[in-house]
Structure 1
Amino acid sequence: MDHTLAPAQNISGPLAPARPPVDGVSDSGHNIHDDAGADENPTYEAVMEAYQASGKDTERFRYSQLKLDCFFKGRTLRSLRRATVQRYITLRQTAGVSPATINRELDDLSAAINWYNFLHELNLPNALVGMSLPVPEGRTRWITRGEAQRMISVAQAMAVRPHLPSFIQLALHTGCRRNELLKLRLQRVRTEEGLITLESEDTKTKKHRVIPLNAPALEALDTMATWRAEHCPTSPWVFPSPRDHAKPLSTIQKGFRSLCTKANIDDFRIHDLRHTCASWLVMAGVPLLVVRDLLGHSSIEMTERYAHLAPNQVHDAMRRLEDAWFQLKDGSTVGRGLSRS
């Protein structure tokens, strides 16, 4: 099936006069094809290409697309049924993929379909609506400060370069995501002010975020600065690739797994460094709304998974209620209230 725009129609009679420029912008580039009708039964490929052309696709979207391509390529939008989507879900589940990952893939394709509809002012069916899987509550694996110090000490002893121990220390004391740190540019770090400023293109949620730097975080950055000064002083990255200093470090997965084994830290992933930071903050009495903003959570619900780590805050709140009650009983507060009325 040909998915190009409809060919131009033969026009008889004199040509219509050119449109006058609007606000100084010439319309000389106007093409009659611009207003032609869009394909009302596009292929999966056409939908994904339109979404990519919009600039809305992210690194996560492109990873999802690698999986979606294997199943949906060559299918037209109107041929998609919920049963088709369910087959995709079943295949991914059989491959051992988590419900959260499957949902992200479905959400990304659904977003592309919705964009195609919006862009071309269509109302094509979206068979992915309502197909999300129930997702169990996210894991909140975290380690103690003693375990964290042991992990860093082992990393320092086993690593040839300071990248791994510095990454761990910086992640624990900023709560940044893995790629936010691996792709962190020096221009985003303001050590004199004690801040990391992440712009929308740096974050998963596409939102600007400012992260204060405490002493351990500054120490990790200083360690990397010393290494860069000796090996690659012109590199723009906080964590340069040892092989190509013009590029950032792409992964620490292998070294991290080996480190956890040597440090006797079980069932611990790189992302759990972020969980650990959040857990430490909550246990230190930092309000959940502040933790949400520091970590850049997209919703307070994501932060609330840590609420159980701060039972003292709940007890303190109830004690305040108790104090107010006894003040009312002894008449001190009641008297002040009556005198105002």
Structure 2
Amino acid sequence: MAIRKKITVSTIKNMKIEDERINDTELAGFHGRISSKGVIKYYFYYRLQGKQRNYLLGSSDALTPVQARDLAKEVAGRVAGGSDVQSIKKETQRQGKRANLKLWTYLDRTYYPYLESLNPKTADRALKALKSNFVELLDRNLADITPWDLQKWVAEKRKAKRAPATIRYALGRLKAAFNRAVEWGFIDGHDLGKVKVPSVDNTIVRYLSNDEESALLDGIRLRDHRIRDERASANVFRKQRNYPLYPSFDGLRFVDYFEPLIITAMNTGLRRGELLALTWDDVFFDERYLVVRAANAKSKRARNVPLNDTVFDALKQWRSQNSKTSVVFITSKYDADTAVTDIKKPWKKLLTDANIHDFRFHDLRHHFASRLVMVGVDLNTVRELLGHADMKMTLRYAHLAPEHKAAAVNMIG
């Protein structure tokens, strides 16, 4: 129930919850509201171009009735001059929030939920990469991060011997986050495109020589023997003391996920993320192919990759060892839905034992493509197997097939 009285110290003091609202008799539009908890706030009501507005002046614990009326008169004057004071106030508040939006706050509360909606499997990794790469900028306001800040970051990473591709990749992730911030109105724009980044020579392809391939496969077998010997030795120790024995590797081809993972990478050309995301529902043994789901592919396009005898036999035996699991490459058969996430330690040791240098896990993909080209597979088929969106990336393997060029020239001889 609204009452009409001049708003004074006395009328405000005597206002009851059931009064709900008091309209000032001296200034049209000036009124006070009381909440169910007894809190009184002053407002100024006005119309602008037929639209109703209710402008909050402040609460009774911060403003006296006289101060509230004076403020209402000032607002009334601005309204009379054609200003939409309510919209101006909201925009000012929004600008204030934008000016104080920290990078870490934006990443955690806004950008991460967006990433999660796109791909829950990679969102955590993407957020972790952003925060670890740009830790010195996390407490900076989003709008205050400049190209110069990032140019200094690039210089520091170059000094620390970071690979150009790593620097470009990290900076690309940050630019993507800033692009979304512009779209969503958190910042008006950014100039991060002005940051000069080191160029990457994508034409250089690292693949294994025949000797290196043999050394790599021998290294995997040596690792297998070492793990088997350690398990047998541990069980002898435990048996002597009547401790429960660890599961035996007798009769099993693989001691863990690592060997089938390497074999699959070398014979399918799948990316690391595509490999680790594989489930047994993606492997079709009867038809002898596997599927890279669109959600797990870099190009966001699904593709089928045939299984040659080597990878078919490896996956078939690995499946027989893990008949109740859902994920292909798991750390333990007792956890059927937890995929391997980190292979750095065994991969690094394998390269050391095999005496192979300057070779990344991703280069197994190049090795797969290079072998195909060198035995005469056409580049378009290689492109389809690798899942490249266009031929540009696949063309870097073209120099491995000089006989094709010679054959083309001889056709007009």
- Is the counterpart of residue 106 in structure 1 residue 171 in structure 2? yes
What is the DSSP-based 3-state SS (H/G/I as helix, E as strand, rest coil) of the residue aligned with 2:291? strand
Which of 117, 140, 162 is 2:205 aligned to? 140
Unmatched tracts of structure 1, length 5 or more? 1-8, 17-32, 323-341
- Which deviates more, 123-132 or 185-194? 123-132
Count matched residues. 291
Separation in 1, partners of 2:269, 2:206: 14
CA contact (8 A) 1:224 1:239 kept: no
1:215 shift after superposition: 1.3
Cα distance 1:151–1:80, how it changes in 2: closer, same or farther (>3 A)?
Answer: closer
Task: Determine the structure 2 residue equivalent to 1:125.
Answer: 189
Larger Rg computed on CA atoms: 2
Unmatched tracts of structure 2, length 5 or more? 1-41, 52-86, 228-254
Task: Determine the structure 2 residue equivalent to 1:67.
Answer: 132
Separation in 1, partners of 2:196, 2:187: 21
1:164 shift after superposition: 2.4
- Is the counterpart of residue 202 in structure 1 residue 266 in structure 2? no
Separation in 2, partners of 1:87, 1:146: 42
Task: Determine the structure 2 residue equivalent to 1:337.
Answer: none
One-letter amino acid matched to 1:239: F
Cα distance 1:165–1:236, how it changes in 2: closer, same or farther (>3 A)?
Answer: same
CA contact (8 A) 1:47 1:112 kept: no
- Is the counterpart of residue 245 in structure 1 residue 313 in structure 2? no
- Is the counterpart of residue 88 in structure 1 residue 153 in structure 2? yes
1:68 shift after superposition: 4.2
Superposition map of 1:256-271 within 5 A: 256-271=347-362
One-letter amino acid matched to 2:113: A
One-letter amino acid matched to 2:288: G
1:310 shift after superposition: 0.7
CA contact (8 A) 1:82 1:128 kept: yes
Separation in 2, partners of 1:166, 1:145: 20
Identity among equivalent pairs (%): 28
Task: Determine the structure 2 residue equivalent to 1:235.
Answer: 325
Task: Determine the structure 1 residue equivalent to 2:34.
Answer: none
- Is the counterpart of residue 311 in structure 1 residue 402 in structure 2? yes
TM-score by length of 1: 0.75
After TM superposition, what 4+ stretches of structure 1 lie above 6 angstroms from structure 2? Answer: none
Separation in 2, partners of 1:258, 1:119: 45
Deviations 1:287-321 (A, max 9, x none): 22221221123443322221110111111111223
CA contact (8 A) 2:283 2:289 kept: yes
Separation in 1, partners of 2:43, 2:145: 36
Separation in 1, partners of 2:44, 2:375: 75
What is the DSSP-based 3-state SS (H/G/I as helix, E as strand, rest coil) of the residue aligned with 1:321? coil
One-letter amino acid matched to 2:193: V
Separation in 2, partners of 1:267, 1:99: 15
1:280 shift after superposition: 0.6
1:261 shift after superposition: 3.2
Cα distance 1:102–1:151, how it changes in 2: closer, same or farther (>3 A)?
Answer: closer
Relative to its length, the structure with more strand (as a share) is: 2
Cα distance 1:255–1:113, how it changes in 2: closer, same or farther (>3 A)?
Answer: closer
Higher relative contact order (CA 8 A, sep 6+): 1
Task: Determine the structure 2 residue equivalent to 1:285.
Answer: 376
Which of 393, 399, 408 is 1:302 aligned to? 393
Which of 216, 219, 240 is 1:151 aligned to? 216
TM-score by length of 2: 0.63
1:11 shift after superposition: 8.3
- Which deviates more, 256-265 or 128-137? 256-265
1:278 shift after superposition: 0.8
